[in-house]
A and B are shown apart, each in its own frame.
Chain A
């Protein structure tokens, strides 16, 4: 009986400590990791979109892309989501839980800065798409 009580006491003492330790290990970096991956997915998606783009127009919170087929793509912050619209229709959600979305224009490039909830700003620079020779 004493052994059982001893083991039980030991178990009750160690379990919360182990749980806390494992919880700490598994979540300490995971939120920044996931945030970073989400933003990266947007950057890759935008780069692929730029490969089909003829012209880029920027405002502080919106990217407007005119594709070679004439479609007008809008990527902007809507509430806490970054959404993509084609010719003003539909809303394809690209990233959620966004705290801030900023676009900056430079002479030869532009940048997109995404701040996810609880995270720090992640900035990505892009070059303007080259004009095709047939234009």
Chain B
């Protein structure tokens, strides 16, 4: 009796498979989106630290306090150099894509002792 009555078979089958497909697709999309967002944030962070380190190296021979803004990967950032006498402090401030808040990275360097300084 049950075997011969299979009028709802196709509908249930297709509904089940379609819901499975929708579930998988809809759960994959946010995961992929999150993954891409994290990748971009990490790439931005690496680019920021590289740029900060470059700026610090360029400033080491001629220590001075200054500030400038720049854009990396579409993210606006501020580089701030502070001559603290013994050390040179460089900070990069930008908006973090992951947390949405402000992110700050600071590096320190010892200024090069020029011949006239050592006298």
* Interface residue? B10 (CB, 8 A): yes
Secondary structure call for the B interface: helix
- The A interface is mostly helix, strand or loop, or mixed, namely helix
Q: Report the Cα distance A36→B11, complex, angstroms.
A: 50
- For B11, the chain A residues whose CB sits under 8 A away are 3-4
Q: Measured between alpha carbons, how far is A26 from B36 in the docked complex, in Å? A: 7
- Interface readout for A22-48 with B: 1 if CB under 8 Å, 0 if not? 100110111011001100100100000
Q: Which of B32-82 contact A (CB under 8 A)?
A: 32-33, 35-36, 39-40, 42-43, 46-47, 50, 53-54, 57-58, 60-61
Q: B residues within 8 Å of A by Cβ?
A: 10-11, 13-15, 17-18, 21, 25, 28-29, 32-33, 35-36, 39-40, 42-43, 46-47, 50, 53-54, 57-58, 60-61, 112
Please list the 3 inter-chain residue pairs (A to B) with the smallest Cβ-Cβ separation, ordered nearest first: A7-B14, A108-B61, A4-B10
